Chain A
Amino acid sequence: MKVDTETLYKIAHLARLKVPPEEEGQLLNSLNSVLDWMEQLNEVDTTGIEPLTHMSALDEVDILRDDVVKNQLPRTQALVNAPVHDEQFIKVTKVL
């Protein structure tokens, strides 16, 4: 797989990044070299092997939580890191 210019700008848009045109060539090169490196995995025959979704041991499943309320943040703490907020809400640029 090769990343072309169109794909590059699409990925950038999805990540909300602005790509200056002069960085286009360098970014294409590095993205493609990462993909080429990963391509090597295609040489391994994985017929009949379930996709591995998690790196931890297979028996590490059902790490579940009981349905109990705890660890809530006081509102002042919950809001403190937001660039814009009042005493109730976090505020952002109008989206409607």
Chain B
Amino acid sequence: MPMLNLLPIFAPMQAESTVLTPPLSTTYEAVIGLEVHCQLLTNSKMFAADANAFGAEPNTQVSVITLAHPGALPKANRVAVEYAVRMGLACGSAITRRNIFARKNYFYPDLPKGYQLSQDKGPICVGGQIPVRAKGFDGTLRDTAIQLHHIHLEEDAGKSIHDIDPNATCLDYNRAGTPLIEMVTEPCLRSADEAGQFLTEVRRLVRYLGICDGNLEEGSLRCDVNVSIRPKGVTELGTKVEVKNLNSIRNVMRAVDAEFRRQVMLTETGGRIIQETRLFDADLGQTAGMREKETMNDYRYFPDPDLMPVVISDAWLANIQAGMPALPRDLYHKLTTQYGLPDYDAALLTEARELVEFYEAVCAETPHYKAASNWLMGPVKAQLSEKNLRDRQFPVSATALAALIRLIDEGTISQTAAQTVFGLMVEQPERSPAELATAQGLLQNRNTNDLQSLIDGVLAAWPDKVEQYRKGKKNLLGLFVGEVMKKSKGSADPKLVNQLIMNALS
């Protein structure tokens, strides 16, 4: 392959801005598969009773089982099994009834036993899919269902810390034995956007199901991507490269793009893609090869003789099914039909389970469904992100917000005053909106005599503008209304003021 005519295509040399232009971007397509690990939100570990919690002092959440003391016998966590089944049911997977745990053997300091307990043959969930709306390879938005190969249960390894001691690697086994589900997709994704949307949907699902907190930065949700390329129209798969070290959804998308570009560039310049694991460097926006392993991994899986098979009976499965919370797509449907919300509102409100639950609680006390939606999408969401209230109780109750909506609807306070009252409700949640509005003098002034004197004062202060208005500059009306509202300290009913001024100037 001649390199010469390719240079302008790949220029400039700065990696991330290297954009493939046609025809290369249309000659090849990316084939992407994802492996997503979710740390389950159980109290204790997968096969031992030590605590499963993030951020504890190093090596304080360990037991003889986790540390592989001789003779220690593991026992599977019932709740972890149920959480895995929940995810499978949410994705429409087939649930494996007889589950065997296997040992995956390898040596690494973060793995005390010398093997990881995992599932080899017969993962707990088989097949299934997650629907997403994403930009496909050609950039057009499409609805597609990302197919799952399987979901299996396993335990996490400990943590190696390389930057505390210059002469040694420090080991913290708090994370060792933490329950994980690993979701493996089919190689059916075709674009970075599909990968990003899929992960966003997985994160939302696990949060709705209450099985994982979905935090990529803390590593409770982790994603490795497998990327290969092939000329368009070819069905055979190319050599796949695994990319690791991705700690945000954005970096997953960047890594897919970077790896696709690298493989196309390599192929076009006569290079050969080798099967390897590469690390993504977020600063450079590039992937780099890891050191070659001395020998191919050979994990020598075999069934763990210490762990009895876990059999999921019809009764147990029915019980898990009955305990399933409503899924985002069910609630989306409910919001658009039962509450008559536009698609946009329904999509936004179902982003988080807490948000939609709060919305339904508000709607239980007000018939103004759209107004409630506007409050949640606007001021409430702004407060939530500003105060980072995700894990804590939002101070304003659904009842109080419904009461505020009622005050506006009755004309007791104006929309503008309601914003002020809402701000006060966040600070002083123990006081009712009516009480706060009264205390702040924000009750809407509908007294025509009071307003008339304010209007007279404003018009007298702006004789030249009044003149211009009368000569046809009708947009000055807004100025007069604004001045009157200011003088009333926001307590006037703007509609009424509008009417009164027009009358005064006619």
Does A46 sit within 8 A of B, measured CB to CB? no
CB 8 Å contact bits of A73-91 with B (1 = contact, 0 = none):
1010011000010001111
B173 CB contacts on chain A under 8 angstroms: 78, 90
CB under 8 Å from chain A, chain B span 51-68 = 51, 57-64, 67
Is B78 touching A67 in the complex (CB atoms < 8 A)? yes
B172 CB contacts on chain A under 8 angstroms: 88-89
Is A68 touching B170 in the complex (CB atoms < 8 A)? no
B75 to chain A, nearest CB (A): 4
A31 to chain B, nearest CB (A): 15
Q: Which of B50, B167, B303, B305 contacts A71 (CB 8 A)?
A: B50
Q: Which of A20-28, A33-41, A51-59 contacts B (4 or more CB under 8 A)?
A: A51-59
CB under 8 Å from chain A, chain B span 119-145 = none
Report the 5 A-B pairs with minimum CB-CB distance, sorted nearest first.
A89-B170, A67-B79, A91-B168, A53-B303, A64-B78
Is B64 touching A73 in the complex (CB atoms < 8 A)? yes
Is A88 touching B49 in the complex (CB atoms < 8 A)? no
Is A65 touching B298 in the complex (CB atoms < 8 A)? no
Q: A95-B169, A96-B169 are contacts. A88–B58 as well, Cβ < 8 Å?
A: yes
Q: A13-B295, A89-B161 are contacts. A70–B49 as well, Cβ < 8 Å?
A: yes
Is A78 touching B67 in the complex (CB atoms < 8 A)? yes
Does A49 sit within 8 A of B, measured CB to CB? no
Q: Which of A61, A71, A78 contacts B59 (CB 8 A)?
A: A78
A60 CB contacts on chain B under 8 angstroms: 308
Is A69 touching B309 in the complex (CB atoms < 8 A)? no
Is A65 touching B49 in the complex (CB atoms < 8 A)? yes
Is B77 touching A65 in the complex (CB atoms < 8 A)? yes
Q: Chain B interface (Cβ within 8 Å of chain A)?
A: 42-44, 48-51, 57-64, 67, 75-81, 98, 100, 105, 107-109, 160-162, 164-165, 167-173, 294-295, 298, 300, 303, 305, 308-311
Does A18 sit within 8 A of B, measured CB to CB? no
B64 CB contacts on chain A under 8 angstroms: 71, 73
Which range contains the number of A residues in contact with the other chain?
35 or more
Is B164 touching A64 in the complex (CB atoms < 8 A)? no
B235 to chain A, nearest CB (A): 34
Is A71 touching B49 in the complex (CB atoms < 8 A)? yes
In the complex, what distance in Å separates the CA atom of A71 from the CA atom of B160? 24
Is A62 touching B44 in the complex (CB atoms < 8 A)? no
Q: Which of A10, A53, A62, A69 contacts B50 (CB 8 A)?
A: A69
B75 CB contacts on chain A under 8 angstroms: 63-65
Is A73 touching B67 in the complex (CB atoms < 8 A)? yes
Is A72 touching B78 in the complex (CB atoms < 8 A)? no
In the complex, what distance in Å separates the CA atom of A53 from the CA atom of B100? 8
The A contact surface, by secondary structure, is loop
In the complex, what distance in Å separates the CA atom of A68 from the CA atom of B80? 12
In the complex, what distance in Å separates the CA atom of A56 from the CA atom of B162? 44
A10 CB contacts on chain B under 8 angstroms: 295, 298
Is A72 touching B77 in the complex (CB atoms < 8 A)? no
In the complex, what distance in Å separates the CA atom of A78 from the CA atom of B68? 11
Is A94 touching B50 in the complex (CB atoms < 8 A)? no
In the complex, what distance in Å separates the CA atom of A78 from the CA atom of B100? 29
In the complex, what distance in Å separates the CA atom of A88 from the CA atom of B305? 33
A96 CB contacts on chain B under 8 angstroms: 160, 162, 169
Q: Which of A55, A65, A84, A88 contacts B168 (CB 8 A)?
A: A84
Q: A63-B308, A64-B75, A64-B77 are contacts. A71–B63 as well, Cβ < 8 Å?
A: yes
In the complex, what distance in Å separates the CA atom of A58 from the CA atom of B308? 10
Is B169 touching A72 in the complex (CB atoms < 8 A)? no
In the complex, what distance in Å separates the CA atom of A53 from the CA atom of B77? 20
Is A72 touching B60 in the complex (CB atoms < 8 A)? yes
Q: A54-B309, A75-B57, A94-B162 are contacts. A68–B44 as well, Cβ < 8 Å?
A: yes
Can you add 10 more A-B contacts, CB < 8 Å, to A64-B78, A89-B164? A62-B311, A64-B75, A65-B76, A66-B78, A67-B42, A69-B50, A71-B48, A71-B63, A72-B60, A92-B169
A-B contact pairs, 6 of them (CB 8 A): A14-B295, A56-B308, A73-B67, A75-B59, A92-B169, A93-B168
B297 to chain A, nearest CB (A): 9
Is B160 touching A95 in the complex (CB atoms < 8 A)? yes
B107 CB contacts on chain A under 8 angstroms: 16
B104 to chain A, nearest CB (A): 12
B50 CB contacts on chain A under 8 angstroms: 69, 71-72
A54 CB contacts on chain B under 8 angstroms: 303, 305, 308-309
In the complex, what distance in Å separates the CA atom of A78 from the CA atom of B295? 33
A93 to chain B, nearest CB (A): 7
Q: A10-B295, A60-B308 are contacts. A72–B59 as well, Cβ < 8 Å?
A: no
In the complex, what distance in Å separates the CA atom of A72 from the CA atom of B50? 5
Most buried by A among B77, B79, B81, B168: B168
B185 to chain A, nearest CB (A): 28
Q: Which of A68, A70, A89 contacts B58 (CB 8 A)?
A: A89
Is B59 touching A53 in the complex (CB atoms < 8 A)? no
In the complex, what distance in Å separates the CA atom of A84 from the CA atom of B109? 13
Is A69 touching B162 in the complex (CB atoms < 8 A)? no
Is B169 touching A91 in the complex (CB atoms < 8 A)? yes
Q: Which A residue's beta carbon lies closest to that of B299? A: A14
Most buried by A among B58, B77, B109, B164: B58
